[in-house]
Copies of this chain bind each other. A is one copy, B any other.
Amino acid sequence: MVERKKWSENFSEWFNDVIEEAGILDKRYPVKGMNVWLPYGLKIMRNIERFIHEEMERTGHQEVLFPALIPETEFKKEAEHIAGFEGEVFWITHAGHDELDVKLILRPTSETAIYPMFSKDRGGWIRSHADLPFKIYQIVNVYRYETKHTRPLIRVREISRFFEAHTAHVDFEDAERQIKEDLEIFDNLMKKLAIAYIISKRPEWDKFPGAYYSLGAEVVMPDGRTLQIGTMHHYKDNFARAYNIIYEKEDGTHAYVHQTTFGMSERLLAAVIAIHGDDRGMVLPPTIAPIQVVIVPIPKKGEEEKVYSYAREIEEELRTAGIRVHLDLRDKRPGWKFYDWELKGVPVRIEVGPRDAENRTVVIARRDKLEKITISREELVDKVRGLFDDIMNYLAERSRKWLESHIKRVDTLEEAKKAFEDRRGVVEIPWCGSEECGLKMEEELEAKMLGTPYPNPEAPEGKKCPVCGREAKFIARFARTY
């Protein structure tokens, strides 16, 4: 085997290697920034999406599916939106042997596909206050012609698993309530993934094109750069005005709806792989692991059948208990199998040899802490379930500590620069609130302003903006980002 790069030393190469070796994606597809999902990776992603579907169901969002192609004419209706995206859309200009009358774009996001259907103009979905709030979502492929360096799961030209929820509301305040619900949904999901994150309100110059304001959720990756893994946008009535989405109020008058969106993608999987990983490969939370327990028989010459029959008995019991279990009967050495399943991040490994079969014991190894214990056969299911909880708690706690130790609050640009040289992560700096000073800091620090802490912006007392020296009104977060 080729020596894999270490998570702890060269995260970027580790990530690229693990994604391919663990069977997440195949990166050899002959279009830049587009990858093939392999069965194991797809299974993990589907398990993540299962929780998304459950949360959507719980909160009354309905699933829909829109076409991936949008006519140029619809795409160009909201001025800021088109300005923000036109540099990165793929254009369909011909079909068969014809040149198209109206060019089509491949959706980079679906506002301009969906909102014409909301509008009364097309006899659409939203007519009266009784239709509101209107909440839909879809998980689809979207396309962005990234000119930056592409990176699997993180910066791609085809986002295969793009989640987008779109909602419409009677007024600004009801849309605000939706943003709060989105944050709650996101938090529930992050608990399932055992991932700690921060939410920031983006500065004006970095809002989603067309948004009134934008929130972003970030994690700190092993190399100290941040990764945006979720966004929530309040559109106010910006799109409603462009697409004429009006409703009839109870008093018979009409008003524009206020809208929000909530977005996530396979970056969730990137965060799981990166944050929980170690030098041996992935460490999957049991909640989303396609295989939660793998059984590796360690047979001894002449005692094979005893071991295999004991292994099958254990497999059957775990399966009956609803645990996703796999018995590895490949014709390979146990050490090779350990290495393989550790790489693939299976949370719990069970080893069974002849002595275990005789003594009715089971050796259990947990992937996160790389510890082994021996238990008696009778306590199997309870112990395994308990171990799942322990692993979730351990991963969540480790992730929380990692995040907290990578947020540093400073007063000056010098301290900020030092922080970026040192541990990196997120650096918080007092800020007067002006775009000029914000951009100046971005430039000086070679970092991006993530925005201000949300929902509590924490106005700092007695602090000065390090650029202009005026009184600071905000704490601004900066990071080197993916």
Contacts and interface: CB of A to CB of B under 8 A. Distances in A.
A86 B65 CA distance: 27
A51 interface: no
A93 B96 contact: no
Nearest to A37: B65
A143 B42 CA distance: 23
Interface stretch (A24-32, A231-239, A429-437, A443-451): A24-32
A29 B123 CA distance: 11
B65 A160 contact: yes
A147 interface: yes
Contacts of A69: 31, 34, 90, 143, 158
A332 interface: no
Interface in A79-113: 86-98, 104, 106, 113
A327 interface: no
B66 A42 contact: no
Nearest to A38: B64
Nearest to A74: B30
A91 B88 contact: no
Given A90-B104, A95-B89, A95-B90, A67 B158 contact: yes
A384 to B, nearest CB: 23
A107 to B, nearest CB: 11
A233 to B, nearest CB: 22
A158 B68 contact: yes
B31 A71 contact: yes
A94 B68 CA distance: 17
A39 interface: yes
A481 interface: no
Given A62-B39, A67-B158, A74-B30, A91 B90 contact: no
A94 to B, nearest CB: 4
Q: Assembly of this chain: how many copies?
A: 2
A98 B91 CA distance: 10
A116 to B, nearest CB: 6
Contact of A28 (B71, B123, B145): B123
A200 interface: no
Nearest to A34: B67
Summarize A's interface: helix, strand, loop or mixed: mixed
Nearest to A94: B91
A332 B420 CA distance: 63
Nearest to A103: B94
Given A62-B39, A117-B26, A87 B96 contact: yes
Contact of A88 (B26, B63, B96, B116): B96
A208 B418 CA distance: 64
A260 interface: no
A452 interface: no
A36 B138 CA distance: 11
A460 interface: no
Contact of A66 (B36, B64, B104, B123): B36
B92 A96 contact: no
A160 B63 CA distance: 14
Contacts of A96: 86-89, 145, 147
Interface string A135-166: 01000010101010000000000101000000
A64 B37 contact: yes
Contacts of A95: 88-91, 145
A122 interface: yes
Given A42-B64, A64-B37, A141-B68, A31 B104 contact: yes
A178 interface: no
A75 B122 CA distance: 38
A35 interface: yes
25 contacts: A28-B124, A29-B113, A29-B117, A30-B74, A30-B116, A31-B104, A35-B67, A36-B66, A37-B66, A39-B63, A39-B136, A42-B63, A43-B63, A67-B158, A69-B158, A86-B96, A87-B96, A87-B97, A90-B94, A90-B104, A91-B92, A92-B93, A98-B145, A106-B106, A141-B141
Given A42-B64, A65-B160, A91-B93, 6 more contacts: A26-B125, A28-B122, A31-B70, A68-B68, A68-B158, A92-B106
- Give the 4 A-B CB pairs with smallest separation, nearest first: A37-B65, A34-B67, A95-B145, A39-B62
